[in-house]
Amino acid sequence: MAGIIAPSILSADVTKLGEDVALVEKAGAKYLHVDLMDGSFVPSMAYGPAWVKQLRPQTDLFLDVHLMAVHPENHVEELAEAGADLIGVHVEATPHIHRVLQMIKAAGVKAEVVINPGTPVSAIIPVLGMVDQVLVMTVNPGFGGQAFLPEMVEKIKELSTYKQDNGLDYDIEVDGGINEKTIALTAAAGANVFVAGSYVYDKKDPAAKVAKLLDLTK
């Protein structure tokens, strides 16, 4: 089964966002990755719930919202109402990760827990039974265009093994430095959802890039 490609609009051209979204959707992308950054949890600031609300009527793609913000519980309801299909929250961003994930599920949205490169899988073991997806950051969050961290492959393998050993069914998503070389490494380790920003949108013909990545996950 082919993996799921989630182009990141962080790297798209905001002046022709609708066109860029349509291109990747036609090429076979199923998800659209939407990064929301508060300038505190990560240095950069980008987008907000209003972007999700504006995107929702423009596409049928699954809106995969990655929330990089302190106190993520303050944004769950607004994002759910805006049309997010999934909300990902960092375990490092709140002392109440279980409660935040409960809030997301109660809002009728799929829940994702996210871990930074410096965070071990052991930090999220207590909540793996309640999530729909786990996002392994394969770069440090907050900036596009970074190089893939190869040591994260072992973390993906660990999550895949834990899922199989415990009869769980969460998806494993990777974000950061994903291209035609690194997608094979992460897919072999057990990832099945692949965020691609710079690789897709920094080159000519984003649709061809999405199609290429899809082929490499089959």
Angle at which helix 206-216 crosses helix 182-189, to 10 degrees, equals 40
Which of 14, 136, 31 is CA-nearest to residue 86? 31
Secondary structure of residue 135 in the 3-state scheme: strand
CA distance 65 to 149: 22
Look up 85 and say whether it is catalytic: no
Which of 183, 121, 188, 125 is CA-nearest to residue 155? 121
176 is in an annotated binding site: yes
39 is in an annotated binding site: no
197 is in an annotated binding site: yes
Q: What are the phi and psi torsion angles at 193 (to 5°)?
A: -125, 130
175 is in an annotated binding site: yes
143 is in an annotated binding site: yes
- Angle at the Cα of 120 from the Cα atoms of 4 and 98, rounded to 5 degrees: 75
11 is in an annotated binding site: no
48 is in an annotated binding site: no
Determine which one of 20, 35, 64, 132 is catalytic: 35
83 is in an annotated binding site: no
145 is in an annotated binding site: yes
CA distance 177 to 27: 20
Look up 35 and say whether it is catalytic: yes
Secondary structure of residue 156 in the 3-state scheme: helix
Binding residue numbers: 8, 33, 35, 66, 142-145, 175-177, 197-198
Active site residues: 35, 175
List, as residue ranges, the binding site for substrate. Answer: 8, 66, 142-145, 175-177, 197-198
Residue numbers in the known binding site for a divalent metal cation are 33, 35, 66, 175
